[in-house]
Structure 1
């Protein structure tokens, strides 16, 4: 499988690890990372989100964990081959059993969000078989620093369930980015940021394509430091 090439790093991919997708690019680009010195990525896959954070914040030290040994191997390879290798580490780890005294300024995840089903495609990455929303949120609330952010991308129809579970763990929504695939379509995804502080939610709207296969100006602007095609603009 061909690598996915960004401006400052390449992503090696294989059939056993969830490939680079738009959700990961959006989360890596939209997440608030400016104050994050210690970062934990849950379910790193190829490592793309961690690499994007490392590029955006030169002070971030990032631990990326995954339950899939193939994902750990390929993400570690991608980290080593990047300009940010000294600040990135990939580790084989089930979040539910993660035992550390470390607190993180940012915990970020593109989590499995489908209910368990009969599909054989990317089971661990796509289905809540090994990591439920409840487990992700409970453990993240334990590992997050007092002023830290917990940031995810999920389907829009999961917002109510996810936010209620966060509330039970004393995590309050700070920011919501409502994402449309095409300008004329209904929103399908949300980037959500939570913290231990209660405040008014900042709501933003974002469009990926202004028409089919034609990227919006806001998407081109957001990803201009990453995607190769922006060099041609």
Structure 2
């Protein structure tokens, strides 16, 4: 992935100092997350370049959009990306670990929407690039810690939305239930109709009700995108 700025329809993102570059997962989550409950406060955990926070700023009128990033270079770049956007007055980035942030904020702030594209590689190997490993590997922010912390920061009627590997879906639901969070909607993502499910988009809330489960297929063939995918991301990608 290039270090060049990534241009979207209403904002651009510099990513030359970020270990993890712009990817489909983040764009999917930022476009998929429901705003029907009109959140007034949003938290983006592990913001990286600031992509999802900027997507939330474009899509919503929320006056408070907080982002959290532990890696220093990514934090600094996210701040710069926020400042050069049209929504800099609504965007704020904290440079801290999630556990530290939860300890500090759980009695101070409750968020109507918490959103995260968390690190998910739990394999035993590492790349050797410390910043990339921190951004990419789940031992930097275990799923259990992420869900428990989100449950402490979420408002009563709020949603916690995340994207994870499909293989982690059941584990995430079990962890969530132990913190009184339940799946409101699950969208399973496939590259093509024939390919296996790769990702799960999950929206968790404190209200236990029937889960809406559907499927999103990204491509008909290489670079030939489905109507469903194009409709989802058309407000962001320049060429869709």
Same fold (TM > 0.5): yes
Q: 2:25 aligns with which of 23, 35, 55?
A: 23
- Contact 2:18–2:77 (Cα < 8 Å) also in 1: no
Q: For residue 192 of structure 2, what is the aligned residue in structure 1? A: 182
Secondary structure of the 1:32 match is coil
Query: Alpha carbon RMSD of aligned pairs, Å?
Result: 1.2
Residues 15 and 83 of structure 1: CA distance in aligned 2, closer, same or farther (over 3 Å) = closer
Kindly state the Cα deviation for residue 15 of structure 1 after the two structures are TM-superposed: 4.9
The answer for the alignment partner of 1:196 in structure 2 is 206
Deviating beyond 3 angstroms after TM superposition, the runs of 4 or more aligned structure 1 residues are none
Given the two structures, how large is their TM-score scaled by the length of structure 2? 0.93
**Whole-angstrom distance in 2 between the partners of 1:14 and 1:119:** 21
Alpha-carbon distance in 2 for matches of 1:7, 1:177: 25
Residue equivalent to 1:173? 183
Match of 1:2 in 2: 4
Q: Which of 57, 62, 86 is the aligned partner of 1:59?
A: 62
- Is the 1:3–1:12 contact (alpha carbons within 8 Å) kept by the matching residues of 2? yes
2:142 counterpart residue number: 132
Structure 1: runs of 5+ lacking an equivalent: none
The count of residues paired between Structure 1 and Structure 2 equals 230
Q: Secondary structure at 2:43's aligned position in 1?
A: strand
Q: CA deviation at 1:118?
A: 2.0
Q: Are 1:156 and 2:162 an aligned pair?
A: no
Could you say what secondary structure the match of 2:173 adopts?
A: helix
Alignment check: 8 A CA contact 2:18 2:48 kept: no
Distance 1:140 1:203 in 2: 22
Contact 1:36–1:60 (Cα < 8 Å) also in 2: no
TM norm structure 1:
0.95
Q: CA deviation at 1:79?
A: 0.6
Per-residue CA distance 1:122-165 (angstroms, 9 max, x = gap): 21121122210111011111110000001100000101111110
2-structure distance, mates of 1:11, 1:59: 21
Q: Distance in 2 between matches of 1:128 and 1:191?
A: 17
Alignment check: 8 A CA contact 2:18 2:49 kept: no
CA drift at 1:90: 1.0
Query: In structure 2, how many angstroms separate the alpha carbons of the residues matched to 1:152 and 1:60?
Result: 21
Matching residue within 195, 206, 218 for 1:208: 218
Q: Is the 8 A contact 1:181 1:208 kept in 2?
A: yes
The unaligned stretches of length 5 or more in structure 2 are: none
Please, which moves more after superposition, 112-121 or 150-159?
A: 112-121
1:174-214 C-alpha deviation (Å, 9 max, x unpaired): 10011111122111101000011100001121111111221
CA distance in 2, matches of 1:76, 1:52: 15
Of residues 34, 43, 47, the one that matches 2:46 is 43
Deviations 1:48-80 (A, max 9, x none): 011001100023421000110111111111111
